[in-house]
Structures are given as C-alpha cells and as structure tokens.
Amino acid sequence: MKDIRNIIFDLGGVLFDINYQNIIESFQKLGLSEFDAIYTQLKQDHLFDELEMGLISASDFRDRVRKLAKKNLSDEQIDGAWNSILIGFPPRNVELLQDLKSKYRLFLLSNTNEIHEKAFRQMLDSLYNIDILANAFEKIYLSHRVRERKPDLKIFERVIRENNLEAEHTLFIDDSPQHVEGAKAAGLKALWLQNGEWVGDLLKREIRY
C-alpha cells in the first residue's frame, strides 16, 4: 500500500484494548441474561446506537437499562458493567503513535459514548502524565460528540472534508468489518485489524512505515 499520507484510527480494539465478553458477562450478572442478543461487535440494539450518537443522555441510558433488567440498579452498577469492556492503552501504542506522528497526519474516529469517554480518559490520566489522545492526533472525532457514527458514509465524508484530505492517500484502520466497508465506500483505503494482531505489525506489513 503506497502513497499513504494520512491515517485515521479507530480507538477501541485498535489502540485501546477492549473485551466485548466482559461487558456481556457483567450485564448478565445484573440480570440481563440475554444481553448478548442486543449487544455485539457486529450488531447492537438502537439503544446503544442512540447513546453513541448523543441522542440520549447517560441518565436516559441507565433508566432504559433498568427497565430492561426489571431491577432498580444503581448508576454505579450500570456504569461498572458498561465500562468493564475497557481494558487499557498499552505503552507500545503510545510509542507507535509518536513514531507515526512524525511521518503522517493522524486522526481518531471512534464510535463511543459519554460514559465510556469519561472512563477511558480517567484511565489514560492515571497511566500517563500527558493527554495521550490530544498529543497524538491532529483531530479527534467521537460519535456522541459529532452525532454521527460509523459505518455511516457521512462521518467519513466529514473527516475528509473538514481536514482537506485526499481519500486515495488516506488509510483507515478498524477492528469491525462493517466500519471498514463504510470507509471504503467513502473512497478511503482501509484495513481490518483482526485475530488479535497488533496494529503496529499490521502497519509495518501494509505500508512499511
């Protein structure tokens, strides 16, 4: 893959380690025995889409989870289960971004929500003495803030337009195949990170940075 000048990274599953099974098991323990039927990496209920697009508040989300569970769960119980998906941001990914920053324009594009953002920023603050994300990326796009989400074409077009990117010289990396296809539909070059491969190895193999 040649002539790459810009790289757009997904966050969870690419740079920030996550575990989907954790979140399923945590909510099952709270009484949502069929949580895996409404939330997976490939497909999720509209409730989670609405949260990721900032169409409902964290309070609304918690109230709807209580209705699904048919239990008076506390905010802390719900947030704890919801945030159990978050594992951490490995130091080698910090080093990777610092290395790439000297060679490419870097952007972050993540489907996330206000509860997760608060939690992962607290985790990053406890691990590092600088704002890792602000330091690494020219611009950050979080779905609940821009009210658009992957794999919709509009959010990819927005990143391209607002940063004057040439799609053919821009690489997008994500761990969800439907998001990779969305990026390709927008004219971007795209790679699907899978099978637990480290993103640094994928980049070395594909663009030989």
Task: Tell me the sheet residues that pair with 105.
Answer: 6
Statement: residue 78 has pLDDT above 80: yes
- Residue 26, pLDDT score: 93
Distance of CA 126 to the CA centre of its chain: 20
- In the structure encoding, which two tokens stand for residue 117, read together? 């953002």
Statement: residue 110 has pLDDT above 70: yes
DSSP state of 209: -
Q: Which residue, among 173, 174, 195, 176, has the nearest Cα to 1 in the 3D structure?
A: 173
Question: How many angstroms separate the CA atoms of 178 and 181, rounded?
Answer: 5
Give 106's contacts (C-beta < 8 A, 6+ positions apart). Answer: 6, 7, 8, 9, 97, 100, 136, 137, 138
Residue 45: band (very low, low, confident or very high) from pLDDT cuts 50, 70, 90: low
State the average pLDDT over residues 64-87: 93
In the chain, pLDDT over 90 holds for what percent of residues?
Answer: 79
State the average pLDDT over residues 95-106: 96
- Residue 186, pLDDT score: 98
pTM (predicted TM-score): 0.93
Q: Contact, 147 vs 165, CB < 8 A? A: no
Mean pLDDT of the chain: 93
